[in-house]
Amino acid sequence: MKTAIIMMGPPGAGKGTQARLLFETLGFAHISTGDMLRTAIKNETEDGNRAKSFIEAGLLVPDELVDSIVKERVRQPDCDRGLILDGYPRKLSQAETLQEILEQDDILAITIGLNIPDEVLIDRLGSRWMCPNCNRTFSKELSSGILKGLCDKCSVHLIHRVDDTEEVIAARLKIYHEETEPLVRYYHAQGIYIQIDGDQLPAKVFYAIRNVVEERRNLASVGK
């Protein structure tokens, strides 16, 4: 059954890292609204120019902009195998839009919530680096690339994200708690929310996610 894995959790929880591992393992399309918006900003497109000031301030980009980006993205052929949503939805109105998209195509939704204390996030975000080419993030301890200051895949110089400053991190966490965290209840009520401890090694988190995804997909196929 066509499946959408919705990655939820605060900024720095590891959604992007886990989404990439899922993409490599399952071949589902990795839809990261943050990456798409950053690319649009880099390419100075109309969407990018509109999104820039919101992202730099750590605020949510207006719904109609992200909704239209996502609607267009899910029509691409690589989405036929399944979807991994990373950074969308971030508020109730977006969750409702996504629900319509998923229902239209009879797509099974599984929501993975990565749980992690704010102190750990602040530490992670403040010390992370990103490849501006492939958008992967690196943290001091785990990456060999950072020692050379280069992405180990693209050989491009790593950068700090403009929104990974102390002030903007605080704004992003506040918005997460106010706007995004209530979605836990929304998905919980639908019986499709699974919480996973994000404060473990990435491989351990991934193992837990894979098990959950497999179990849910098996259950859904039996129920058909």
Catalytic residue among 38, 73, 161, 216: 161
Instruction: Tell me if 130 contacts ligand ADP by CB under 6 A.
Output: no
Contact 213, 84 (CB under 8 A): no
Instruction: Tell me if 41 contacts ligand ADP by CB under 6 A.
Output: no
Q: And the tokens for 25?
A: 């393992």
In the list 55, 74, 98, 114, the residue contacting ligand ADP (rule: CB under 6 A) is: 55
**d(Cα 7, Cα 89) in Å, to the nearest integer?**
9
Catalytic residue among 90, 124, 136, 216: 90
Instruction: Tell me if 61 contacts ligand ADP by CB under 6 A.
Output: yes
Q: Which residue number is nearest to ligand ADP in terms of Cβ? A: 34
Piece of 40-48, 60-68, 110-118, 184-192 that binds ligand ADP (CB under 6 A): 60-68
What are residue 109's DSSP bridge partners?
Answer: 4
Q: And the tokens for 136?
A: 């992967």
Residue 136 annotated in active site: no
Give 26-61 as a DSSP string.
H--EEEEHHHHHHHHHHTT-HHHHHHHHHHHHTPPP
**d(Cα 111, Cα 190) in Å, to the nearest integer?**
10
| Omega before residue 77 within 30° of 0, cis | no
Residue list 19-38, contact with ligand ADP (CB under 6 A): 33-34, 37
Q: Kindly list the residues in this chain that would bind ligand ADP in the complex (CB under 6 A).
A: 11-12, 33-34, 37, 54-55, 58-61, 66, 87-88, 90, 94, 163, 172
Catalytic residue numbers, as ranges:
15, 90, 128, 161, 172
